[in-house]
A and B are shown apart, each in its own frame.
Chain A
Amino acid sequence: NAGVIQTPRHKVTGKGQEATLWCEPISGHSAVFWYRQTIVQGLEFLTYFRNQAPIDDSGMPKERFSAQMPNQSHSTLKIQSTQPQDSAVYLCASSLQQYFGPGTRLTVL
């Protein structure tokens, strides 16, 4: 069991560029959660899927952020036109019992 896999581990983008973050949940887990963590705001819930269906996206910024789960084996978080304030660690968790991946550290220059 490799645990939750997140790629890339680090991503640096220029302001205005697009960033796509990937999450592979633990096999058999039906729920996938996305979070953003910063020193100032702490850990913020973004969105989650259960059985690939979007359940709650109330934490997602209304513009530029989108998430998908096209199949059971992966979910993506896409940020269009990245801004410096998007810099954070983006965490993915698998299952309602929250098995976290290592995170993707996004830096927007």
Chain B
Amino acid sequence: GQQVQQSPASLVLQEGENAELQCNFSTSLNSMQWFYQRPGGSLVSLFYNPSGTKQSGRLTSTTVIKERRSSLHISSSQTTDSGTYLCAMFSGGNYKPTFGKGTSLVVHP
């Protein structure tokens, strides 16, 4: 079946350090998306990134569709970046979404 592998499962940083989160997809995909979820909160879209590189502030997403992978780079991490980062792939004619298990990020002051 369709799978989305996220790594690492968890990450602990000191404020100011950079982070690199990865997603690998087992099948071809139409598009993918990165989300952020604060503990107890809902999901907020960070990037809708079918291919190429997109940047928003300290966040950069790079997706290589033909290699079935995407990365999320967080530069100069802050304590407010703590939370869970999830990626999702959308595939097939029905555009069905499949989510990864997420990366839990903790940034210490």
Interface residues of A (CB under 8 A from B): 33, 35, 42-45, 48, 55-56, 58, 91, 93, 96-103
Contacts and interface: CB of A to CB of B under 8 A. Distances in A.
A97 B88 CA distance: 11
Nearest to A56: B94
A44 B43 CA distance: 13
Given A42-B102, A45-B99, A103-B42, A98 B88 contact: yes
30 contacts: A35-B99, A42-B99, A42-B101, A42-B102, A43-B43, A43-B99, A44-B99, A45-B98, A45-B99, A56-B94, A56-B96, A58-B96, A91-B42, A91-B43, A96-B90, A96-B95, A97-B33, A97-B48, A98-B33, A98-B35, A98-B43, A98-B45, A98-B88, A98-B97, A100-B42, A100-B43, A101-B42, A102-B41, A102-B42, A103-B42
The prevalent SS among residues of A at the interface is strand
Contacts of A103: 42
Contacts of A91: 42-43
Highest count of chain B CB atoms <10 Å: which of A43, A55, A100, A103: A43
A97 B98 contact: no
Interface in B53-101: 86, 88, 90, 94-101
A33 B97 contact: yes
A38 to B, nearest CB: 11
A97 B45 contact: yes
B44 interface: yes
Contacts of A96: 90, 95
